[in-house]
């Protein structure tokens, strides 16, 4: 699903050269739920940005769903993000001026889908997070947990192969966070690969596979589980 080999990312300013990631190698199989932990500035966000095609890297190779993304232009990268990846952000990143329906609708519009196709998908995604009844509301009218559910609906609406979650519970209280985690586990159970960056040690320990990053390298890896076979995935989706 995701195969990074010897990825390095160097930020250069006139004075300093910072290695955000160095020789980073990681293989995530289809259907896995991986958590990423590490202290501030360890390279978590850089990893996430590279994995999500939000940023390029200095060297190494990255195969996403068997496609080498190293040489891809902006247009193809945008299209891969749109079709294969769902993003969930710590501060939800909903469009404040759009109602819930229009928010969830955004990725489908970039896919160029017809209105008749988009509507049922958006409604299904909102229903799956239990917020279909409030589709005309604005984000500001919702609680933090509800906003994050909308963001999850938006991430799921394009039926991506994997989800990238950046501290999805970081701005939520523990009860709400628990609800969001249950939702993510459910999504994973249906076969979607999830990579989640988190600060929360407890969450990390619960996860089947946790990767701890320090200074741009993998410092520790725990609970690597056997990947699900394609047959199992197909069953889960059905």
* Site residues, other proteins (CB under 8 A): 45, 48-49, 52-55, 74-75, 78-79, 81-83, 87, 89-91, 93, 95-99, 102, 105-107, 109-112, 138, 154, 158, 166
Please calculate the CA angle 151-154-156 and round it to the nearest 5 degrees. 115
Please answer whether residues 146 and 137 qualify as being in contact, where contact means their C-beta atoms are separated by less than 8 angstroms: no
**Beta strand 17-28 pairing with 2-12:** antiparallel
SS3 141: helix
**Residue owning tokens 């952000």:** 89
In the complex with other proteins, the residue whose CB is nearer, 80 or 131, is: 80
What's the closest the beta carbon of residue 78 comes to other proteins, in angstroms? 4
In the complex with other proteins, the residue whose CB is nearer, 114 or 231, is: 114
In the complex with other proteins, the residue whose CB is nearer, 37 or 49, is: 49
In the complex with other proteins, the residue whose CB is nearer, 91 or 190, is: 91
Distance CA 205, CA 155 (A): 25
Helices of type H across the chain: 44-51, 74-84, 100-111, 115-128, 144-157, 174-189, 201-206, 230-237
What's the closest the beta carbon of residue 95 comes to other proteins, in angstroms? 6
In the complex with other proteins, the residue whose CB is nearer, 19 or 110, is: 110
What's the closest the beta carbon of residue 54 comes to other proteins, in angstroms? 4
What's the closest the beta carbon of residue 73 comes to other proteins, in angstroms? 10
What's the closest the beta carbon of residue 9 comes to other proteins, in angstroms? 11
In the complex with other proteins, the residue whose CB is nearer, 23 or 55, is: 55
What's the closest the beta carbon of residue 91 comes to other proteins, in angstroms? 7
List the strands of the sheet with 59-64, edge to edge.
17-28, 2-12, 59-64, 67-68
**Residue owning tokens 């390029």:** 56
């Amino acid at each position: 699903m995701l195969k990074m080999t010897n990825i390095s990312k160097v930020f250069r300013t006139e004075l300093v050269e910072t290695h955000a990631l160095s020789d980073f190698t990681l293989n995530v199989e289809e259907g896995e739920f991986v958590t990423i932990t590490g202290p501030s500035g360890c390279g978590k966000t850089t990893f996430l940005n590279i994995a999500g095609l939000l940023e390029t890297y200095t060297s190494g190779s990255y195969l996403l769903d068997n496609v080498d993304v190293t040489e891809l232009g902006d247009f193809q990268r945008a299209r891969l993000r749109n079709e294969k990846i769902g993003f969930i952000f710590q501060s939800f990143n909903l469009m404040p001026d759009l109602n819930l329906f229009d928010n969830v609708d955004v990725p489908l519009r970039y896919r160029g889908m017809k209105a008749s196709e988009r509507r049922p998908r958006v409604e299904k995604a909102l229903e799956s997070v239990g917020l279909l009844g409030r589709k005309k509301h604005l984000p500001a009218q919702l609680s933090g947990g509800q906003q994050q559910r909308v963001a999850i609906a938006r991430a799921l609406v394009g039926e991506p192969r994997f989800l990238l979650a950046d501290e999805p519970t970081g701005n939520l209280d523990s009860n709400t966070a628990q609800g969001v985690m249950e939702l993510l586990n459910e999504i994973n159970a249906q076969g979607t690969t999830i990579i989640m960056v988190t600060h929360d040690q407890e969450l990390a320990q619960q996860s089947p596979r946790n990767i701890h990053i320090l200074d741009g390298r993998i410092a520790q890896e725990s609970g690597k589980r056997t990947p699900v076979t394609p047959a199992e995935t197909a069953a889960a989706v059905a």
